């Protein structure tokens, strides 16, 4: 399937718009607005606000994402920011810190796990490493005093 | 996402994608979509037949098969192929404007 590809060694600062899929292996900063999908590959670095249909993060991402259908942070991917979609998947081995908002769109498939087999224990490990969850922060502050 | 067999590994901006802003780097780029802003490369940029660019470009080599408006400075060469349409001021050591190409603007060559 044809897609715009931004390879390593290329850096874009500004806006990317359009209806063709985009794959980023280089660096992008700014704003991305697509009526298609974007794939941030393993070595890709994106610092941007993204609006798209599907967003796949296998590289480094910082910013906000609003996806019409699906967001996936796959193993090895790092995402930081606020992400919003009807369906979101954070795979085992992925790093995420920030906020997730799952927009209601009937009982949308919401997966927080790797492939189907392993059900529970992996989530803790990756979440604990990047503690940015609201509850503990407030609690420890009062304890300290 | 998984087309590994493609031999020509270039950055490609396909039709349907538009980039506004600054593109910089040291690997080659092919533009089949639209770009505007500035381009600064230590490599080659090709504005393909379906591509259009409204940019000031600094690069090693520039090939224009599509439409381009904006000043171009190259380290090596500029080629405007038969379907190319260019409005620009060009600064380059080597230039070739092929028969059929449209060009208006100025050319400055160092010799």
Average pLDDT over residues B64-93: 96
**Residues in chain A with pLDDT values less than 50:** 106-109, 112-145
What is the domain count for chain B? 1
Token duo for residue B87: 């409005």
Enumerate the residues of chain A whose CB falls inside 8 A of the CB of residue B3. Answer: 1
Q: Is residue A111 packed enough to be buried (19+ CB in 10 Å), middle (13-18) or exposed (0-12)?
A: middle
Q: Which of A80, A89, A92, A81 is nearest to A108 (CA)?
A: A89
Q: Note down the domain range covering B83.
A: 11-108
Question: Within a domain: residue B3?
Answer: no
Q: What is the reported pLDDT for B77?
A: 96
B42 φ/ψ sector (left φ>0, alpha ψ -120 to 50, else beta): alpha
Q: What is the C-alpha to C-alpha distance for residues A61 and A87, in angstroms, rounded to an integer?
A: 18
Question: Within a domain: residue B28?
Answer: yes
Min Cα–Cα distance to chain A from B94, Å: 25
Q: Note down the domain range covering A131.
A: 4-144
Q: CB distance B20–A17 less than 8 Å?
A: yes
Q: What is the reported pLDDT for A105?
A: 63
ipTM for the whole complex:
0.81
Question: Within a domain: residue B96?
Answer: yes
Portion of chain B with pLDDT greater than 90, in percent: 89
Q: Let me know: does A74 contact A94? Beta carbons within 8 Å.
A: yes
Q: CB distance B16–A36 less than 8 Å?
A: yes
Band of the pLDDT at B9, cuts 50, 70, 90?
confident
Q: CB distance B25–A19 less than 8 Å?
A: no
Tell the residue number behind the tokens 């967003």, with chain if given: A55
Q: CB distance A13–B21 less than 8 Å?
A: yes
Enumerate the residues of chain A whose CB falls inside 8 A of the CB of residue B27. Answer: 7-10, 26
Question: Which of B2, B6, B8, B19 is the mutation pick for testing A, counting most A CBs within 10 A?
Answer: B19
| Global confidence as pTM | 0.76
Is the pLDDT at B39 greater than 50, yes or no?
yes
Min Cα–Cα distance to chain B from A29, Å: 10
| E strand spans, chain B | 11-13, 17-25, 29-31, 34-41, 44-47, 52-64, 67-69, 72-80, 85-91, 94-97, 102-108
Min Cα–Cα distance to chain A from B11, Å: 5
Q: CB distance B19–A56 less than 8 Å?
A: no
* Non-local CB neighbours of B56 within 8 Å, separated by 6+ positions: B38, B39, B70, B71, B72
What is the domain count for chain A? 1
Helix (H, G, I), strand (E, B) or coil at A89: strand
Picking from B3, B17, B26, the nearest residue to A22 by CB comes out as: B17
């Amino acid at each position: 399937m044809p897609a715009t590809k931004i390879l390593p060694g290329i850096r874009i600062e500004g806006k990317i718009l359009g209806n063709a899929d985009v794959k980023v292996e280089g660096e992008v900063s700014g704003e991305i607005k697509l009526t298609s999908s974007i794939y941030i590959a393993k070595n890709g670095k994106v610092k941007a606000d993204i609006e798209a249909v599907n967003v796949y993060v296998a590289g480094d991402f910082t910013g906000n994402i609003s996806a019409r259908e699906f967001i996936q942070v796959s193993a090895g991917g790092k995402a930081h920011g606020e992400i919003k979609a009807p369906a979101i998947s954070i795979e085992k081995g992925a790093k995420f810190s920030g906020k997730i908002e799952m927009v209601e769109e009937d009982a949308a498939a919401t997966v927080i796990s790797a492939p189907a087999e392993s059900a529970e224990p992996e989530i803790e490990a990756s979440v604990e490493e990047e503690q940015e969850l609201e509850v503990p922060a407030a609690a420890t502050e009062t304890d300290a005093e | 996402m998984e087309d590994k067999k493609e031999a020509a590994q270039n950055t490609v901006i396909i039709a349907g994608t538009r980039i506004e802003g600054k593109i910089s780097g040291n690997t080659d780029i092919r533009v089949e979509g639209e770009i505007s802003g500035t381009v600064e490369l230590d490599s080659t940029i090709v504005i393909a037949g379906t591509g259009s660019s409204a940019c000031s470009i600094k690069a090693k080599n520039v090939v224009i098969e599509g439409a381009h408006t904006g000043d171009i400075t190259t380290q090596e060469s500029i080629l405007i192929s038969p379907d190319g349409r260019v409005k620009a001021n060009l600064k380059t050591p080597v230039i070739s404007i092929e028969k059929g190409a449209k060009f208006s603007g100025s050319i400055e060559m160092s010799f």
